[in-house]
Amino acid sequence: MRPLEFAVAFGVTILFAAHSVPAKRVQTVDDAQIVDGASLVASGERVEVFQHGVDVDPDFLRVCEQAYGRIEALTGRKLDTSTLGPKVRIYVSSAVVISHVWKGYDHPQDPRGIMFLNPRVYEAALRGTNATYAHEMSHLFTWRFHSHTLREGLAGYLALQLHPGASVGPNVDGYDASMRIPAEIVDYLGTKRPPPDWLVSDAARRRAYYYASYRFVKFLIDREGMRAFLTLYEAEDPQAEFTKRYKNSREELVRMADLSRSSESQSASEGDPHRAD
Ligand SMILES: [Zn+2]
């Protein structure tokens, strides 16, 4: 996902710094047009796959049905079919630049069980090397959110549970590398702050934001389990729940999560808490 592509996908007008990557393609067809113009490829018990301007292998349905079952099992949550519709509808479209759920970040204002994938993400999903499709599907299972970082972190966590080491969203190199997390991003974690404006215009900070969100959520789930995490996630004000559910403040937990290091480098550097990478 490149910043301009993202901005165009969500109808945002922004200016770019000189170092920004120029867009190769823009999404000129809106999501409703994709839904109207797509054709059904395959329909399963819980998922429907559609194609739009691209040929989709009907076997993708099996991949998606499997992911559905695993996300259900990992979260212990059923899809909210009374709100989202009976099946998850997946549109693979040549018009989609950045994969997203219906309405993107504003999905809760018009919740539908619809997600859009670009052909690159779909093809890599068939090979098991890109888990963005599972990230987007996770958003549908946990569509009521109050903290954007917890939302993105949870979707990253679930996607990587399904496909360890895969690319997800803006982190095309996966999540195993270490990354320095700027303090301004740390300040967002686990809060109700709306996503920052630079999230759509600054690719490096965008990667760090998703990475830190994932690391923080993984830390919380590793510590108290999925059930406790989802109670926090679903709370009206998650920030107010940290002390009650995790016995530490948000600030303390963020520090304890040691966001900047991958699990790989953590185990490699055990006994050396000052290692900086
Ligand atoms: Zn997401």
- How far does residue 271's CA lie from ligand 1's centre (Å)? 34
Which single residue is written with the structure tokens 């996300």? 71
Asked whether residue 13 falls in the same domain as residue 138, the answer is yes
Asked whether residue 118 falls in the same domain as residue 155, the answer is no
Q: Is-contact 242 249, C-beta < 8 A?
A: yes
Helices vs strands, H then E, count in the chain:
12, 5
Helix (H, G, I), strand (E, B) or coil at 93: strand
Asked whether residue 205 falls in the same domain as residue 140, the answer is no
Q: Identify the domain boundary among 117, 144, 171.
A: 144
Protein residues with C-beta less than 5 angstroms from the ion ligand 1: 152, 155
- How far does residue 269's CA lie from ligand 1's centre (Å)? 30
Average pLDDT, 10 consecutive residues per value, the chain (277 residues): 46 36 64 97 98 98 98 98 98 95 93 97 95 97 97 97 90 76 94 93 91 95 97 94 94 89 43 26
- How far does residue 101's CA lie from ligand 1's centre (Å)? 8
Asked whether residue 123 falls in the same domain as residue 15, the answer is yes
Asked whether residue 198 falls in the same domain as residue 261, the answer is yes
Asked whether residue 163 falls in the same domain as residue 257, the answer is yes
Q: Is-contact 233 190, C-beta < 8 A?
A: no
Asked whether residue 171 falls in the same domain as residue 266, the answer is yes
Asked whether residue 103 falls in the same domain as residue 125, the answer is yes
Domains of the chain: total:
2
Q: Is the pTM of this model over 0.95?
A: no
Residue 198 to residue 196: CA distance in whole angstroms: 5
CATH code of 83's domain: 3.40.30
Which single residue is written with the structure tokens 């990354």? 179
Asked whether residue 123 falls in the same domain as residue 153, the answer is no
Residue 258 to residue 134: CA distance in whole angstroms: 25
- How far does residue 155's CA lie from ligand 1's centre (Å)? 6
Asked whether residue 221 falls in the same domain as residue 139, the answer is no
- How far does residue 99's CA lie from ligand 1's centre (Å)? 9
- How far does residue 207's CA lie from ligand 1's centre (Å)? 12
pLDDT at 200: 85
Asked whether residue 112 falls in the same domain as residue 164, the answer is no
Q: Identify the domain boundary among 123, 144, 165.
A: 144
Antiparallel, parallel or unpaired: β 100-101 and 47-52: unpaired
Q: Identify the domain boundary among 107, 125, 144.
A: 144
Joined together, the tokens standing for residue 86 give: 């009976």
Asked whether residue 139 falls in the same domain as residue 9, the answer is yes
Domain span at residue 73 reads 1-144
